[in-house]
Amino acid sequence: MNFQLTEEQLAVQHAARDFAKNDLLPGVIERDTEQKFPKEQIKKMGELGFLGMMVDPKYNGGGMDTISYVLAMEEISKVDASASVCMSVNNSLVCWGLEKFGTEEQKEKYLKRLATGEAIGAFCLSEPEAGSDATSQRTTAEDKGDHYILNGTKNWITNGNSASIYIVIAQTDIAKKHKGINALIVEKGMPGFVVGKKEDKMGIRGSDTHSLMFTDVKVPKANRIGDDGFGFTFAMTTLNGGRIGIASQALGIAAGAYELALAYSKERKAFGKTLSEHQAIQFKLADMATKIDAARLLVHQAAWLKDQKKDFVKAAAMAKLYASQIAQDVTTEAVQIHGGYGYVKEFHVERLMRDAKITQIYEGTTEIQKMVISRELLK
């Protein structure tokens, strides 16, 4: 593994940093308070190529490596995790899954639009009674010959209302259990498809998280991804890659909070000297910086393994497990270093602390990551 970033990777990192500073930072507090989806900012992300970074250029993508993707995710997550989760889902779960497993017709019809941000994608797996236990799908896709009839409810769907292309995981043959699950491409506007209420969340409040309801939705069989019964394997394989995106999001949240705390510690004075001159604060900063560097190494290792087409399942789970934990630790300490100011919105760190928690829950909880890691170790 080469620790030296290429010129192209550095250019991507700098472009993401500039975009975050110039386009995302203004208004980020208001968007969080008002639960406002960053529509214009996401549109510009598409124009800059951040929504289809790893997609082959023949499908309008950037053709970049996973390292470039996680570098951009980190920079954007430092400022606005609501924008970065939209970026992560579109890149890791929707575009990647479609490019790897979709038909040529599906790629032409859907992937080209998703890669440019002309269309936004959503990944629909979770249900009221199927969160971590993804095998317990209650949403059904009844085989009707040349089409499926889709019925059910999905919960906690990122980009729930802003998306126009949805990958829905549904049960076709309950007797086959997880081998009877399919992945279907559903378009917004199909009769019987309704977007439900928006969730009032603790963090990533700018991200539009909705429930979705499907009532006798007719989905062409041409919209099925892979062979009959491939849906569960599709979902689990796609989530393995998605964990790298969420790990880089957690890393970015932590790094953003650390940078704010470091700068504040050099300005704020207490007992006749700056906070950074107090050993107690120095030790906090040392611990924060060490944890962030360790998390970054895990994230980059997982991304590198994926780029080398090596087995990255364990590495991705480790990266998400550790990065999400240090995001909690570092953002909490950032609030502590800011003292009373850390508890008010103006200084940003309280928002980052709220945003950090979800990284331990979505795309596989902390407990699920430990199950994945231990299973890989005991093979």
The DSSP H or E segment spanning 193 is strand 193-198
Question: Strands 140-143, 147-158: parallel, antiparallel or unpaired by DSSP?
Answer: antiparallel
Contacts of 100 (CB under 8 A, 6+ apart): 237
User: Could you tell me if 52 and 114 are in contact, meaning their C-beta atoms sit under 8 angstroms apart?
Assistant: yes
Tokens of 11: 């250019």
Note if 277 is an active site residue.
Answer: no
Which residues of 57-143 form beta strands (DSSP E)?
121-124, 140-143
Tokens of 168: 């829905």
Report angle CA 17, 319, 125 to the nearest 5 degrees. 90
d(CA 132, CA 366): 10
User: Could you tell me if 343 and 335 are in contact, meaning their C-beta atoms sit under 8 angstroms apart?
Assistant: yes
d(CA 198, CA 187): 19
Which of 75, 333, 350, 363 is flagged as catalytic?
363
d(CA 357, CA 331): 10
Dihedral (CA of 177, 178, 182, 188) sign: positive
Q: How many CB atoms lie within 10 A of CB 363?
A: 31
User: Could you tell me if 244 and 303 are in contact, meaning their C-beta atoms sit under 8 angstroms apart?
Assistant: yes
Q: Bridge partners of 213?
A: 153, 194
The two counts, helices (H) then strands (E), for the chain are 13, 9
Q: Which of 178, 83, 162 is nearest to 118 (CA)?
A: 162
Residues annotated as part of the active site: 363
